[in-house]
Structure 1
């Protein structure tokens, strides 16, 4: 990818993470079983900005970790060709040719 395409991927990933646009969120049973499943946790994911070289080596802002008490939550964005989620996107920088799924899970579920 070109630097411009990478920047567009990051922008689209931010859009699904912050505004739930261009894709959808899913959460695992492990997350649903915690007392933290709800608007507070979702807001923490949406506000996440602790991107570093270690957790964002390609500059796509597609994953992060949030710690709450004794729980470690992990979120990851996968990019598909469309909402059917059958195939990976060939042009993840193109909003008309990509669809994002943000999965929120407990770290031990990864």
Structure 2
């Protein structure tokens, strides 16, 4: 039997939150997988400490970020694929994806590419 009624344990807010999380996750995955050439409207920032490792090591770290798939409850509690840790040669590198307004001053609540 099919029903269009909402199950008692699910609310329209739950569905809205799930859709929002899925949208953010898809945008973050799209951004990560576009590294090292992020799409228009996106910026990739590498810290001075990572840049000092040299272009070859930066490229290897960015490739590790691009292909990162180890998302779990400890590193991705909200399911947005916006944070990770890369371990290489005894070093630990943290990466983070954030969505900002078009002027790069404030966090954005729209979660879409302009």
Q: TM-score range by the shorter chain?
A: 0.7 to 0.9
Say which SS state the counterpart of residue 26 (structure 1) adopts. coil
8 Å contact from structure 1 (residues 66, 74) kept in 2: yes
Distance in structure 2 (CA, Å) of the matches to 1:80 and 1:16: 14
Asked if 1:4 corresponds to 2:19, the answer is: yes
Greater RCO (CA < 8 Å, at least 6 residues apart): 1
How many residue pairs get aligned? The number is 94
* Match for residue 80 of structure 1 among 57, 82, 100: 100
Please identify runs of 4+ aligned residues in structure 1 that moved more than 6 A.
Answer: none
8 Å contact from structure 2 (residues 75, 83) kept in 1: yes
Tell me the CA shift for residue 5 of structure 1.
1.2
Aligned to 2:113: 95
Q: Unaligned 5+ residue runs, structure 1?
A: 97-110
Tell me the CA shift for residue 52 of structure 1.
0.3
**How high is the TM-score relative to the length of structure 2?**
0.74
Aligned to 1:18: 33
Task: From the CA coordinates, give the structure whose radius of gyration is larger.
Answer: 2
Aligned to 1:103: none
Tell me the CA shift for residue 16 of structure 1.
1.1
**How high is the TM-score relative to the length of structure 1?**
0.77
Aligned to 2:86: 66
Aligned to 2:46: 27
Aligned to 2:5: none
Q: CA RMSD in A?
A: 1.6
